[in-house]
A = this chain, B = another copy of it.
């Protein structure tokens, strides 16, 4: 194995975690993600086609355990005129958890400048930052005495709360998960981080919360439209459904919404929570607003007629560019400071 140091900057997961865990970083990231979405919606972001490996029609990866469904995603892009272009590799779904890295190349020289060996961490936090941003914009009435409804109890369900803590005083969460053991672990972990956690066996109960966050990898609806939900007054952040065929919401629930927001209109037609509702003709793509086109004062959500809104995010590469540049700059400042 080589001991020599390559002529580029390489940062380990531990170093990245250190700079990314500060409150200042989180607050700035939410703002930067908002600017990134706005640049994306103005057409100033250049995204490569998404490469997916290990998923049909390709052969599956070689597995060392049953029920193995690993896949790897390569997302690339750059903001027109910015300093770097970014290539992100994120692998997930395998028994060894997330892996991957983020590469920053100089647009000016083409040279590889920085490698962030993040093992998927940056994807978790840029996704959490998008959730926090949407909560700020579309659930501004969330009070300290309310509860956040959380569907799922995995890694992203943790990151969503961590980032929400930067945009709301609310510290109560009502969680539903498929596996009792995982839900109990989630309760212990998040209580250790300052949250009051209640659990429920009935996912429909989450719909009484003013903000609901969905983070599972379900392929069948979990949250349904029933009698109760006709009086819905809430905002749902849909995080889990990031690939074609995945869904957590009943398409009828999507159709009942007063405001549909997505990170990318193009992407929301092909993957995510609105895919099924659009293909069934229950809603039209024209009804969907891109978050980057919503006024920053949240006017779309404060209108009395918009009492039930949904934000669907499957993740766009502009988020990866934004978080990568922020982490890189924070690391460089750390080194010279």
> A90-106 toward B: CB 8 Å interface, digit per residue (1/0)?
01111110111101010
Contact of A112 (CB < 8 Å), options: B58, B80, B85, B99: B99
Contact of B96 with A110 in the complex, beta carbons under 8 Å: yes
A107-B49 Cα distance, complex, nearest whole Å: 22
Q: Which B residues lie within 8 Å of A111 (CB)?
A: 91, 96, 99
Q: Indicate whether A25 reaches chain B with its CB closer than 8 angstroms.
A: no
Q: Which B residues lie within 8 Å of A330 (CB)?
A: none
Contact of B51 with A74 in the complex, beta carbons under 8 Å: yes
A72-B91 Cα distance, complex, nearest whole Å: 22
* A46 nearest CB across to chain B (Å): 4
Q: Which B residues lie within 8 Å of A74 (CB)?
A: 48, 51, 74, 76, 87
Contact of A99 with B108 in the complex, beta carbons under 8 Å: no
Q: Which B residues lie within 8 Å of A252 (CB)?
A: none
A87-B95 Cα distance, complex, nearest whole Å: 21
- Interface residues, chain A, CB within 8 Å of chain B? 1-12, 14-15, 46, 48-49, 51-54, 58-59, 61-64, 70, 72, 74, 76-78, 80-83, 85, 87, 89, 91-96, 98-101, 103, 105, 107-112, 115, 117, 331-332, 335
Can you offer 21 A-B residue contacts whose CB atoms are under 8 A? Answer: A1-B332, A3-B5, A4-B15, A6-B117, A7-B12, A10-B10, A48-B51, A49-B51, A51-B76, A61-B110, A62-B107, A63-B108, A64-B109, A87-B89, A91-B110, A91-B111, A93-B110, A96-B110, A96-B111, A99-B109, A99-B111
